[in-house]
Amino acid sequence: MTEWANVILQGVLIGGLYAMFAAGLSLIFGVMRLVNIAHGDLIVLAAYVALIVTQALGIDPLTSLLLVVPMMAVIGYALQRGLLNFTLGEDLLPPLLVTFGLSIIIQNGLLELFTADSRKLQAGAIEIETFQLMQGVWVGVLPLIQFIVAIAVIAALQLLFYRTPLGRAFRATSDDQSVAQLMGLDTRHIFAMAMALSLAVVAIAGVFLAVRANFDPAIGPARLIFGFEAVIIGGLGSMWGTLAGGVILGVSQAIGAQINPGWQLLAGHIVFLVILALRPQGLFPKVSG
């Protein structure tokens, strides 16, 4: 019994990380209908940026977020203004192709610079600290911090979207680009702000990913899949749904792995496919069209 409680708890906590993978993806799609195939590789890029920052300054990974988050946000703004804005239009295909190419460029660029060796961010003693929640059920401190940060990120995005002028501009631009321009909104800037925000979340996700496990230049696409699955399970356009989607995916994988270690990824994909088949709009859909 406690064995299963442990398994499910671990699944829930890792679900927070998946929700952070998904939030940035969902935000970009919501604001500008851009499917960012390079999202997973940008997560890995953020991990390498954190690696450089922690090594150069001798600070721990969580502190490095203070630098990595703004750096990734600036990269996001520049990427959107300098490249992705030119791919947006009636056709959904050009951004898909360009971000696919970007994914390959990032992977190979990282491979050139850092080789294919596995790396990991060292967070020190906190990595293995745990406490007992109840008899036989143990919680890792770092996974718990990761989950709390994920909730905070989702809550912050929710507030930003529904309580601030920038969020209003995001929603208006998402609704109707040309009328948004009539309101004096420069949509190129709005899109770039959305990408900056997306990559700020990516930076947090990337650092937690890199503290939790080994990473190398090739693991991006799998993170993209997890992010996609969490978005679809939760329902497009719903931030809290994305968190739920991440948790469902995490728990499914944990249960699958408990039954048979080879079934971890398979179980997650199966649950995703079942939900897609039975409820294609996701569990908590927000957008209808």
Partner 1 sequence: MHDHPLLEVNAIDTYYGDFQALFGVSLRVEAGQVVAVIGANGAGKSTLLKTIAGLMQPRGGDIWFDGELIENAPAFAVVKRGIALVPEGRRLFPSLTVEENLKIGGQLGRPGPWTLERVYELFPVLAERRNLPAPALSGGQQQMAALARALMANPRLLLCDEISLGLAPIIVRDIYARLPQIVAEGLSLIVVEQDIVQALSAASHVYCLQEGRIALQGPAGELTRESISAAYFGV
Interface residues with partner 1 (CB under 8 A) are 165, 168-169, 171-172, 174-176, 178-187
In the complex, minimum distance from the CB of residue 157 to partner 1, in angstroms, rounded to a whole number: 15
Q: Which is nearer to partner 1, 170 or 272 (CB)?
A: 170
Q: Which is nearer to partner 1, 169 or 207 (CB)?
A: 169
| Best CA proximity match to 51, nearest among 217, 225, 222 | 217
In the complex, minimum distance from the CB of residue 177 to partner 1, in angstroms, rounded to a whole number: 10
Q: What is the distance between the alpha carbons of residues 136 and 288, in angstroms, rounded to a whole number?
A: 45
> From the CB of residue 137, how many other CB atoms can be counted at a distance below 10 Å?
15
- Indicate the residue type of 182: L
In the complex, minimum distance from the CB of residue 182 to partner 1, in angstroms, rounded to a whole number: 5
In the complex, minimum distance from the CB of residue 286 to partner 1, in angstroms, rounded to a whole number: 9
β-bridge mates for residue 137, sequence order: 134
Q: What is the distance between the alpha carbons of residues 204 and 58, in angstroms, rounded to a whole number?
A: 19
Q: Which is nearer to partner 1, 87 or 177 (CB)?
A: 177
Q: By the 8 A CB rule, do 255 and 11 touch?
A: yes
159's tokens:
């507030």
Q: Which is nearer to partner 1, 10 or 187 (CB)?
A: 187
Q: Which is nearer to partner 1, 137 or 185 (CB)?
A: 185
Q: In which region does residue 238 sit, left (phi positive, over 0), alpha (psi from -120 to 50) or beta (all else)?
A: beta
In the complex, minimum distance from the CB of residue 162 to partner 1, in angstroms, rounded to a whole number: 9
